[in-house]
Amino acid sequence: MLKIMKHKLLLLIVVLIPVLAVAQDADKALVQAKAQAALDAQADLKKVDTGEKAWKLSGVLGLNASATGLVNWAAGGKNNAAGQVFAKLRLLYHKDNIAWDTNLDMEYGLTYLQQDEDALQKASDKINFATKLGWEFHPTWYLTALAGFQSQFALGHNYVTGYNDVISKWLAPSYTDISVGIDWKANDIFSVYLSPVAGRITTAWISDGVNDRLNKEFNDALDAGLIDVTSDWYQKNAAYFEAGADGYRTLLQNKYAVYNYERGDDGNWEETPVMSNVRAELGLSFKGQINYKFKDLTLLSTLGLYTPYSWRVNKDAAGKNYFVGYRHFGKFDVDWDVAISYQFLKCLNVTLTTSTRYYSGVMIADKNGVEAERVQFMTTLGLGVGYSF
């Protein structure tokens, strides 16, 4: 009896082994099918349009204007009107591991004063362009190439009684930056960029035709007695317009420190610079950017710092080292722009803009005529027609 039971148990095991094997294969196939279905679902989800676009365009466009009219006004004053047109645009592309961020900041403003001389005057003039292309090698970190350009549209004058000397123009000055570095983009609002390999090209470029015209205007004004030959400006700059001199070209090159130094026969750097249309430098660059929009409020801010890798050192008579010129490593050029815009009633904008500049080598006279490197600052508060997007 026991022997028969053993035979039946053995037969049952033999029969169940294939069944269990088939069941195990079925379970394995089921698990694999579910895993594949999950992968397919994930792939399909990536194809769903979530509303996030690769390209995003934002910015502020506007026209600010103001006017003052006076009739028998005891406190005095002049009738005046002012207008400024501006555009601050940002185009952002972000898809997969590629980010491309382009910014354009432009403005131009004029002021009219009811007076016989220089009734129409330029009040503001700016062109700032920057673009950077980055590859994300780690979340929020990008290997980035950057290019930028800064200049202005029209001639700038020093408005005084009589002759208005020229103080700036298109490409005089201009600043072109080309660099490679690391960009940290925490989000679409905030980014920080650092480049140890940053090239900057500074120009004070004036064509022969423009230079001849400006110099002729100066000489005509001098012959007509419109220039005060006892003024500090004339005493300082008259040598630029003497016979054989280059006039405004050299004056603006010196004003914006667009010159180069050469080594003497003894191997030391010469103290007297050689004027040039272009100055090219290699240095260290840092840039920070904020682009924030909340409902009808827009905040745009860019900060740029640059210092050249330059160590032009000579020794004085006592054997002490000193720097030749004003530009050397550790002295930073500063560009900081801020724009705050609030849109209301669909088409009206109130805008506050500030621009802060500091360039080593650029000398600015104070009210007493003393020249030194100084911080330049401009602020504009405007109410006008505008559109934020």
104-158 confidence digits (pLDDT tens): 999 999 999 998 899 999 999 999 999 999 999 999 999 999 999 999 999 999 9
| Domain residue limits at 14 | 1-43
Q: How far apart are CA 118 and CA 159, in angstroms?
A: 7
27 and 64 together in one domain: no
189 and 249 together in one domain: yes
248 and 377 together in one domain: yes
25 and 154 together in one domain: no
Beta strand 55-68 pairing with 80-95: antiparallel
61 and 6 together in one domain: no
pLDDT 10s digits, 74-116? 877 889 999 999 999 999 999 999 999 999 999 999 999 998 8
End-to-end CA distance of the chain: 94
145 and 9 together in one domain: no
145 and 23 together in one domain: no
Q: Considering the domain boundaries, does residue 316 fall inside one? A: yes
29 and 84 together in one domain: no
Q: Considering the domain boundaries, does residue 360 fall inside one? A: yes
Q: Considering the domain boundaries, does residue 351 fall inside one? A: yes
8 and 131 together in one domain: no
Tokens 């026969």 found at: 265
Q: Considering the domain boundaries, does residue 378 fall inside one? A: yes
Q: How far apart are CA 380 and CA 84, in angstroms?
A: 10
The answer to which of 47-61, 136-150, 287-301, 306-320 has the lowest mean pLDDT is: 47-61
* Beta-carbon contacts of residue 110 (< 8 Å; ≥ 6 apart): 82, 83, 84, 120, 121, 122, 123
Hey, what are 247's tokens?
A: 């006039």
Hey, what are 240's tokens?
A: 């630029």
Mean pLDDT for 323-327 is 84
- The three-state DSSP-derived secondary structure of 39-77 is HHHHHHHHHCCCCCCCEEEEEEEEEEEEEECCCCCCCCC
Q: Considering the domain boundaries, does residue 48 fall inside one? A: no
Hey, what are 294's tokens?
A: 């909340």
Q: pTM score, two decimals?
A: 0.83
Number of separate domains in the chain: 2
Q: How far apart are CA 187 and CA 91, in angstroms?
A: 15
Cα–Cα distances (Å) from 55 to 98, 100, 136, 348, 388, in that order, read: 12, 9, 17, 27, 17
* Beta-carbon contacts of residue 215 (< 8 Å; ≥ 6 apart): 241, 247, 248
Q: Considering the domain boundaries, does residue 211 fall inside one? A: yes
* Beta-carbon contacts of residue 63 (< 8 Å; ≥ 6 apart): 83, 84, 85, 86, 384, 385, 386
Q: Considering the domain boundaries, does residue 49 fall inside one? A: no
3 and 123 together in one domain: no
Q: How far apart are CA 79 and CA 76, in angstroms?
A: 10
* Beta-carbon contacts of residue 210 (< 8 Å; ≥ 6 apart): 169
